[in-house]
Chains A and B, each alone.
Chain A
Amino acid sequence: MNNGRAVVLVIEDNTIVRMGAVDLVLAAGYEALEARDADEAIRILESRSDIDLVFTDVQMPGTMDGIKLAHYIRDRWPPVKLIVASGNDILEESSLPGGSSFFPKPYDDSAITDAMARLLASDNPKGTATG
């Protein structure tokens, strides 16, 4: 949370898709941070304590994919909410940490912002911004 706005970290290796995801986060009224892979995401998560939600892709370069990253975040920063999107839907949904939301790609932007609002409202009823 930063000045009453929820902070969302977007992790996606494809530039255009990452731009789109950051854009939808901003349009929904949240603050957006972005990373290209799990390592960069972890550096950002370590450097600041105001991240409320992580929206991550699954397949990406680096030491961890989005599923490993989701588990790592759940273990290390349990309050951070998780949304995971992937082009490999059936395989991956069952391997995610409990409580995270999964969307197959291509995702519908409004479905993602709805999920963000729902997850952020679940323990923070006043802190959610709406677009």
Chain B
Amino acid sequence: MTNRPTEFFEAASTLAVVVSSNEPLLFLSEDQRVIAASASFCRAFDIDPATVPGKRLDALGNGEWAMPTLASLLKATASGKAQISAYEIDLKRPDQKTRQLVVHARTLDDGDKDHVRLLLAVTDVTDARAETRLNNDLVRDNAMLMQEVQHRVANSLQIIASVLMQSARRVQSEEVRGHLHNAHHRVMSIAALQRQLSTSKGGNVELKTYLTQLCQSLGASMIAEPDRLSIAVTVDDSAVDADVSVSLGLIVTELVINALKHAFPDQPSGTIAIDYRSDGGDWTLSVSDNGIGMPEGSDAPKAGLGSGIVEALVKNLQGEIRMSDADPGTAVTIAHRGPPVRHADLSTAV
């Protein structure tokens, strides 16, 4: 060694601990000469270990460690005025990319107060930071893409809704107009779900919000006299898979349309009540009205597309449908017993 090392000999064990440190570590004298450097430090920052001992910190390598901020922070640490904890500095070397470093410095506390020595731990966070940035970018891109998709879906549904409503205004036949309006309600039912999905996390749909919104939208477009007819929605805290909620929403749409059309021909007032509750895998959906009740015999309306849709969806959900006299009015109850069909309940999931 050509440089004068230090006047003071460190215990061999201390030096061995420093050299073998997994984290890049420098052991410095008070005047910022390197007493020892860990092998990991030399490897990480491309420094020949043989050149290290006794060298001033600012002369290490090609002088890239001569950073005034680092020197003054180490000086403050040595004098006991400050401790460097997670201080960020940039390591700049010619022809190499700048590395972002996080440094920790402290005095060695071995009871020897006359010989201040410093431990400087150096972590290269360049790659970790880049990865975090990349992840953040990905998350942001994903969210933007998701929003874009939802926007497109909403606009596409708007085009369909616009076409249906224009057709409905143009046709002469009341019956055809009714069919077009029903088709429009079905589209709006799916749109309400789409909106609900865009705000929910993990693809589960909170039925309470969804069915309430859905019935508000049905009421707004179908009920001409809101003082006369109303829709009441009672739903527990269930959250279900998106697929299941599409089916439930369409079932409710069909049954509400049906009740609004047939249950209250001349009644001074009327209410349609939607009720959904679940217990584990079991659930029950009922749509009831306090109207004129089911017509019988030849007065019974022909089964239309609406009842076909309801039957198919109920079957798909492995449920059973039952119609009963609610006295006054009609109740349609759909019940599923047994394990859920891709169906999750918030109360059991938490």
Verify if B187 is at the interface (C-beta below 8 Å from A). Answer: yes
Q: Which of B154, B162, B188, B217 is most buried by chain A, counting CB atoms within 10 A of its CB?
A: B162
Among the 9-residue stretches B31-39, B85-93, B145-153, B342-350, the one with 4 or more Cβ atoms under 8 Å from chain A is B145-153
Could you say which residues of chain A place their CB within 8 Å of the CB of B198?
90
Known: A87-B154, A87-B155. A20 touches B220 (CB 8 A): no
Verify if A46 is at the interface (C-beta below 8 Å from B). Answer: no
Q: Which partner residue on chain A sits nearest B224 by CB separation?
A: A110
Could you say which residues of chain B place their CB within 8 Å of the CB of A85?
158
A106 to B221 CA separation, bound complex (whole angstroms): 13
* B154–A110 touching, CB < 8 Å: no
Known: A105-B154, A107-B158. A89 touches B195 (CB 8 A): yes
Main secondary structure of the interface of A (DSSP, over half): helix
Name the one of B150, B151, B169, B221 contacting A108, with C-beta atoms under 8 angstroms.
Answer: B221
* A88–B147 touching, CB < 8 Å: yes
* B160–A87 touching, CB < 8 Å: no
Could you say which residues of chain B place their CB within 8 Å of the CB of A111?
217, 220-221
Within 8 A of B (CB), among A30-80: 59
Known: A23-B169, A88-B147, A90-B199. A16 touches B159 (CB 8 A): yes
Verify if A121 is at the interface (C-beta below 8 Å from B). Answer: no
Within 8 A of B (CB), among A87-127: 87-91, 104-111, 114
* A109–B221 touching, CB < 8 Å: yes
Within 8 A of A (CB), among B186-226: 187-188, 191, 195, 198-199, 217, 220-221
Q: Which partner residue on chain B sits nearest A90 by CB separation?
A: B199
Name the one of A17, A24, A59 contacting B151, with C-beta atoms under 8 angstroms.
Answer: A59
* B161–A106 touching, CB < 8 Å: yes
Verify if A21 is at the interface (C-beta below 8 Å from B). Answer: yes
Name the one of A14, A104, A109 contacting B165, with C-beta atoms under 8 angstroms.
Answer: A109
Known: A24-B165, A27-B169, A88-B151. A108 touches B158 (CB 8 A): no
* A16–B221 touching, CB < 8 Å: no
Verify if B163 is at the interface (C-beta below 8 Å from A). Answer: yes
* A108–B188 touching, CB < 8 Å: yes
A9 to B128 CA separation, bound complex (whole angstroms): 54
Verify if B157 is at the interface (C-beta below 8 Å from A). Answer: yes
A110 to B226 CA separation, bound complex (whole angstroms): 13
Could you say which residues of chain A place their CB within 8 Å of the CB of B158?
14, 17, 85, 87, 105-107
Within 8 A of A (CB), among B155-192: 155, 157-163, 165-166, 169, 187-188, 191
Could you say which residues of chain B place their CB within 8 Å of the CB of A87?
150-155, 158
A37 to chain B, nearest CB (A): 16
Q: Which partner residue on chain A sits nearest B152 by CB separation?
A: A87
Could you say which residues of chain B place their CB within 8 Å of the CB of A109?
161, 165, 221
* A23–B155 touching, CB < 8 Å: no
A21 to B169 CA separation, bound complex (whole angstroms): 12
Could you say which residues of chain A place their CB within 8 Å of the CB of B165?
20, 23-24, 109
* A106–B154 touching, CB < 8 Å: yes
* B188–A110 touching, CB < 8 Å: no
Could you say which residues of chain A place their CB within 8 Å of the CB of B154?
86-89, 104-106
Could you say which residues of chain B place their CB within 8 Å of the CB of A59?
151
Known: A104-B195, A108-B217. A16 touches B151 (CB 8 A): no
Could you say which residues of chain B place their CB within 8 Å of the CB of A110?
220-221
A107 to B157 CA separation, bound complex (whole angstroms): 9
* B151–A19 touching, CB < 8 Å: no
Known: A23-B169, A90-B199, A114-B220. A106 touches B151 (CB 8 A): no
A11 to B198 CA separation, bound complex (whole angstroms): 26
Q: Which partner residue on chain B sits nearest A58 by CB separation?
A: B151
* A19–B155 touching, CB < 8 Å: no
A21 to B187 CA separation, bound complex (whole angstroms): 17
Q: Which partner residue on chain B sits nearest A91 by CB separation?
A: B147
16 A-B residue pairs with Cβ-Cβ distance under 8 Å, sorted by A, are A17-B158, A20-B161, A20-B162, A23-B166, A27-B169, A85-B158, A88-B150, A89-B154, A104-B195, A105-B157, A105-B158, A106-B157, A106-B161, A106-B187, A108-B217, A108-B220
**Beyond known contacts A88-B147, A88-B151, A106-B160: 17 more, CB 8 A cutoff:** A14-B155, A16-B163, A17-B162, A20-B162, A20-B163, A23-B165, A24-B169, A59-B151, A86-B154, A89-B154, A90-B199, A91-B147, A105-B155, A106-B188, A106-B191, A109-B161, A109-B221
